[in-house]
Chain A
Amino acid sequence: MRARARIGMETPPVHFHIDRSDLRRYALACGETWPAYVDGDEAAPTFISALQTEGMGAGQLFEADLPFASMLHSDDTVEVYRPIRPGDVLTATARYCDAVLKDSTRGLMLFQTAEMLLRDGEGRAVGRVASSLVSF
């Protein structure tokens, strides 16, 4: 399976300068009403997702050229080591973790998993997210 050849593949580090307006815009798009989130003092709980597209290689990490009609998001696992705040300078590194074929009532399904680690300017871990996509 070609996707398994990606296991261990890493994408180059990506740097993010976290701006209060990024945090505000994200919180409002999620319907948040908690003042610290809406004011951008602290990131809403799922904000790490907003860094995934760039932080995980702008779509290059997952295998997309597959003999399946559809691809959807199947799982996320997140660890937040400390809240993301405005002024943070974060570095994302990402790695392709796994590709597994499973039989299901819908036929054969391929699950791909990759993870992204965020570190701050001092190299301390800020958060980690592992996401899986299912193709069927």
Chain B
Amino acid sequence: MRVGDNLPELLVEITHRDLIRYAGAANDYLPQHWDRDMMRGDGFADVVVHGWLGCAHLCRAATAVFAPDRWVLDRYAVRYRRPLHPGPVVCGGRLVACDGETREVSGWIRDAGGATVTTASMWFAARTGGC
């Protein structure tokens, strides 16, 4: 992969069940992720997806190229720009820098309406060296 190349896009259908499963695995039971009545009362269309779950899917999109047996994601910075509700999302990104044994990826998540809801910078370091 060269600088400027895009990651293959990862399409994920995030369901309410996925949020329950994630809440249990991550010990994150904040009501924003399961209390639909509360969220609608606050003006949201639905519950919001755990930011970390979206981030995890974005990491999967990147590790499809930077395979974990060769690369370790050792730093990342994520911004949750808009609430993400359950439904189909697309994760993608672009290789923005290649410096020795480090690769920098600029990633994004788009919701069903095409809005960019999450952006991230991810830095991968080679586990065993070499490009």
Binding site for B on A (CB under 8 A): 25-26, 28-34, 36-37, 42, 44-46, 49-50, 52-54, 69-81, 83
Closest to B32 in A: A72
Contacting pair A53 B28 (CB below 8 A): yes
Pick out which of these stretches binds chain A: B18-26, B96-104, B108-116. Answer: B18-26
Interface pair B51/A73, CB less than 8 Å apart: yes
Which chain A residues lie closer than 8 Å to B12 at the CB level?
31
CA gap between A53 and B25 in the complex, in Å: 12
Roughly how many angstroms separate A34 CA and B56 CA in the complex, as a whole number? 13
Q: Please list 18 pairs of residues, one from A and one from B, whose beta carbons are closer than 8 Å in the complex, sorted by A's number.
A: A25-B24, A29-B21, A30-B57, A30-B60, A45-B59, A45-B76, A46-B55, A46-B59, A50-B26, A52-B28, A53-B26, A72-B32, A73-B52, A74-B80, A76-B78, A80-B72, A80-B73, A81-B74
Q: Which residues of A contact B18 (CB under 8 A)?
A: 29, 31
Given contacts A31-B57, A73-B51, A83-B72, 14 further A-B contacts (CB under 8 A): A25-B24, A26-B26, A28-B21, A29-B24, A29-B26, A30-B60, A32-B60, A34-B63, A45-B59, A45-B73, A49-B55, A72-B32, A75-B80, A76-B76
Note all chain A residues with C-beta closer than 8 A to B80: 72-75
Q: Does B48 lie at the interface of the complex (its beta carbon under 8 Å from any beta carbon of A)?
A: yes
B83 touches A72 (CB 8 A): yes
Report which of B26, B51, B75 forms a contact with A78, defined as CB distance below 8 A: B75
- Closest B-chain residue to A53, C-beta based? B27
When A53-B28, A80-B74 are in contact, do A34 and B68 touch as well, CB less than 8 Å?
yes
Chain B residues with CB under 8 Å of A37's CB are: 68
* 10 residue pairs, one from A and one from B, having the closest CB atoms: A29-B25, A30-B56, A73-B51, A49-B52, A50-B26, A45-B73, A77-B77, A45-B59, A26-B25, A46-B56
CB distance from B122 to the nearest CB of A (A): 9
Report how far A79 CA is from B76 CA in the complex, Å.
7
Which B residues, 23 to 70, have Cβ-Cβ distances below 8 Å to chain A? Answer: 24-28, 32, 42-44, 48, 50-53, 55-57, 59-60, 63, 67-69
B63's contact among A45, A73, A78, by CB below 8 Å, is which?
A: A45
Docked-complex contact A75 and B55, CB < 8 angstroms:
no
Question: Nearest residue in A to B122 (C-beta to C-beta)?
Answer: A45
**B28 neighbours in A (Cβ, 8 Å):** 49-50, 52-53
With a cutoff of 8 Å between Cβ atoms, the chain A residues found around residue B56 in the complex are 30-32, 44-46
Residues in A with CB closer than 8 Å to B22 are 29-30
Residues of B within 8 A of A83 (CB): 72
